[in-house]
Amino acid sequence: MIDSSRDGKRPLWLNLLGLASLALFGVGAYLALFASPPDVNQGDLIRIMYAHVPVAWIGFVAVGVSAVWGMLYLWRSRPIDDVRAVANADAALLFSLLTVVGGMTYSKPTLNTFWTWDAKLTLTALMVALLVGYYIVRGLIEEPQRRARVSAVIMIVVLASLPFNYLAAEWFRTLHPAKSVNLDGSGVTMAPEMLRVLLINVVAAGLVFVYFVSERVRVGKLALSSARERSGFEAAAPATGEVVRVR
């Protein structure tokens, strides 16, 4: 790949990606708000689902991608992997907060409560708490290598909690409705015209996520290279897993 991070300009493909995600977001919003039929029970409230579900799914994806970059950092100690892990962690925190806000908005008129401590919601609260903790810990640790290692471990723990969260309504009794789209091939309990609108919104949320993370990585690379210039050559990426102590 061409290294356009040095001149500080946003590359063309990134701008196009931003425009594409904005356009698809608009299409998804139109389909959700106007084209989708109302639900037999929920009526127009089903339209909130088209925002809530994609945001929740992409939040999960962001945690997974961040954890993978965290694992790669633990393996080969390259500072750029930490930059990528943080970029995805930002998205994970943002999307999981939006999941909670959207879920509360959806839950009050349908389930008659903003919040309840069932397994699904408790695990989601745990996920948000761990993600907030991720940033608190990053703020507390000065040394870049140690900061990257500790936060990578936290994100791996968040990833380990995701299967329980994803399958909570299947495994435990919850107030939160069970999955309607089953990835194990046991079917979709949603009308096809609704599933179509949902999936378009998932792709839209995915594009927003990829754009956001790409831009965040670009900015992170700039910060990394300017930090290297400031601190001289030896503080830059150590070739091995050895920690360079700068105290």
Taking CB under 8 A as the criterion, the residue among 17, 32, 49, 91 binding another protein is 49
User: What is the three-class DSSP state of 75?
Assistant: helix
Could you please report the per-residue DSSP string of 79-114?
HHHHHHHHHHHHHHHHHHHHHHHHHHHHHHHHHS-S
| CB of residue 111 to another protein, shortest distance in Å | 5
Taking CB under 8 A as the criterion, the residue among 2, 6, 173, 185 binding another protein is 173
Stretch that binds another protein, among 140-148, 176-184, 203-211, 222-230 (CB under 8 A): 176-184
Tokens of 134: 């991720």
Tokens of 37: 């039929």
Taking CB under 8 A as the criterion, the residue among 4, 174, 214, 225 binding another protein is 174
List binders of another protein among 112-131 (CB under 8 A): 112-113, 116, 118-119, 122
Tell me the C-alpha distance between 246 and 231, whole Å: 10
Give the interface size with another protein as a residue count (CB under 8 A): 42
For position 111 contacting another protein by CB under 8 A, the verdict is yes
| Cβ–Cβ under 8 Å, residues 211 and 21 | yes
Taking CB under 8 A as the criterion, the residue among 19, 33, 160, 227 binding another protein is 160
Stretch that binds another protein, among 9-17, 177-185, 200-208, 213-221 (CB under 8 A): 177-185
Tokens of 84: 């990528």
For position 110 contacting another protein by CB under 8 A, the verdict is yes
State which residue, 21 or 151, has the beta carbon closest to another protein: 151
CA-to-CA dists, residue 67 to 118, 149, 180, 233, 241, angstroms: 26, 11, 27, 28, 19
| Cβ–Cβ under 8 Å, residues 80 and 228 | no
Tokens of 179: 């999955």
Taking CB under 8 A as the criterion, the residue among 191, 227, 243, 246 binding another protein is 191
For position 203 contacting another protein by CB under 8 A, the verdict is no
Taking CB under 8 A as the criterion, the residue among 72, 150, 156, 235 binding another protein is 156
Could you please report the per-residue DSSP string of 202-222?
HHHHHHHHHHHHHHHHHHHHH
Residues contributing to the site for another protein (CB under 8 A)? 37-42, 46, 49, 74-75, 109-113, 116, 118-119, 122, 153, 156-157, 160-161, 163-164, 169, 171-175, 177-180, 189-191, 193-194, 241
